[in-house]
Amino acid sequence: MVFYGLPIVHPNSILVVTINGIGLVIEAVYLTIFFLFSDKKNKKKMGVVLATEAHFMAAVALGVLLDAHTHQRRSSAP
């Protein structure tokens, strides 16, 4: 997840964002290839899984941003 390295969560974390961004691009290429060559049944199943995961990650990111209002609180371990 690229979220935890973004400047809104933790300032001065460009290295984390860079490596996570590269991983995100590689994963997107993999998923694109998978969806291009997959049959209709697998496309639907994986589409549901991907959408569920995206909604969950969005909820986690929103919860972190709304609950912890400072960079220090967002960066600290519970």
Global pTM reads 0.65
- Confidence bin at 72 (pLDDT 50/70/90): low
pLDDT digits (tens, 9 = 90+) for 21-64: 898 899 999 999 999 999 999 999 999 999 999 999 888 888 87
Spatial contact of 74 and 10, defined as CB atoms under 8 Å apart: yes
Distance CA 59, CA 65 (A): 10
For residues 52 and 29, what is the distance between their CA atoms, to the nearest angstrom?
A: 20
**Cα–Cα distance, 3 to 49 (Å, whole number):** 20
